[in-house]
Amino acid sequence: MVRRMLLMSAPIAIAIAVGATFAGAAQAETHLTYGSTLPAPHLAHHAALEPFFERVSDATDGAVTWEIMPGGTMGGVKEVVQMLRDNVTDSGLILDLFTRRELPVTSTVSDLITLPDDFIVYGAAANEFQLIACPECVAERSEQNIVGLAYYGPDPYRLMCRDQTRTYADLQNKKTRATGRLGVLMQEFGATTVTIPSSEVYESLQRGQADCTAASTAWLDSYNLKDVVETVIDLPMGSYFNANIMSMNAEVYHGLSESERAAINENLAGLVVDVMLAYKKEGDAGLDNAVASGVELVQPDERLLTALAAFRKGEVENTIATAEAAGVKNARKMVETYLSLVEKWRAILSEIGVDDREAFVAALNREVFSKAKF
């Protein structure tokens, strides 16, 4: 919930005391909450959100501040839309794989989760799609009293197992944590899908509730999975590129002053770039650290490669059919629009390079955030 305080500057007290004719200005301070289902030490917090909040605070001379409420303390992944709609929290992270009932249009392209060959390209395209190219998505969030502000994707998911699972044959009937179409892919691999929140993945592997998980390699450090897995199969299986890292209660957002909203909007591109580059850096480091600590990096066998390629061939049509069955209008056009934006951003990032933060931020501002109507 928003908390506003009126801060009186020191010169006021001095002026009153000495009978001076001037008074200091009063400054309203707005303290906002951010509800996150991610654990407190997660890279999205320390590498992206906290610097973003600091930049906004600096730009508003301390008038707008944030507090992260981590670990699902404000509610779980399935409750986040209600939390934001009802202003239980002012802002937060929406993972629409878990909120399809409330956000069927917004979540349409999320079913393409196994396709990304470059998670940064797909994540950049998601911002342009969700904020500009899909007015139906904007309207749907508005109906939920939510303003979506920024999107990202983590580094590619790989299979990580608590035992010596190495091949397609080894995966048969293994309890494997995965969500959405990744879960269906695991079934195509012969595994048994189990649904476990990311916040519980460490314990589930440790206790044997899951044998394997499909996860970002950054999780090897951020969730300490390197301590409970023995093998990582080096088969990138896609990325959930449609994660809404910054969403706000609409009344809270529009209740801020024009300059305060501008301070937020002008720093969104930096938030997007920071979180994805952090995943790139920490994903690589997490895998290196895991291997150094004794986790074995295993090359996929031919049956895994063949099964993944076959599965991907039908994913565009499956995504369209699933959306149409859920009542989403113009699903084919939406999917085709998003995929065209993927190619647009592939070309942009090929030219500027993903590691040039300032150029990447400038491109996002030019193509997306300067044009978005929040």
Q: 120: part of which helix (H) or strand (E)?
A: helix 119-128
pLDDT at residue number 2: 64
Residue-range domain boundaries for the chain: 100-156+238-288+311-369
Helix (H) or strand (E) holding 4: strand 3-8
* pLDDT at 23 exceeding the cut of 80: no
pLDDT value, residue 46: 96
Closest CA to 160 of 235, 240, 209, 233: 233
Q: Which of 5-14, 36-45, 154-163, 246-255 comes out lowest in average pLDDT?
A: 5-14
Judge whether 65 and 57 are in contact, CB under 8 Å. yes
pLDDT at 10 over 50: no
Residue 86 confidence (pLDDT) above 90 = yes
CA nearest 233: which of 154, 174, 313? Answer: 174
Alpha-carbon distance of 255 to 186, in angstroms, equals 45
Confidence of residue 25 (pLDDT cuts 50, 70, 90): very low
Structure confidence at residue 199 as a pLDDT band (50, 70, 90): confident
Judged against a pLDDT cut of 80, whether residue 28 lies above it is answered with no
- Whether the Cβ atoms of residue 308 and residue 185 lie closer than 8 Å to each other: yes
The predicted-structure confidence for 105-146, as pLDDT tens digits, reads as follows 999 999 999 999 999 999 999 999 999 999 999 999 999 999
Average pLDDT in the chain = 93
* Per-residue pLDDT tens digits for 152-185: 999 999 999 999 999 999 999 999 999 889 999 9
On the question of pLDDT at 1 being above 70, the answer is: no
For the stretch 209-260, pLDDT in tens is 999 999 999 999 988 999 999 999 999 999 999 999 999 999 999 999 999 9
The rounded percent of the chain whose pLDDT value lies above 90 is 89
pLDDT tens figures, 275-331: 999 999 999 999 999 999 999 999 999 999 999 999 999 999 999 999 999 999 999
Higher pLDDT pick, 7 / 333: 333
Rounded CA-CA distance 81/224 in Å is: 28
pLDDT of amino acid 222: 85
Q: What is the pTM of this model?
A: 0.90
SS3 6: strand
DSSP code at position 299: P
CA distance 202 to 210: 9
Q: How confident is the model at residue 354 (pLDDT cuts 50, 70, 90)?
A: very high
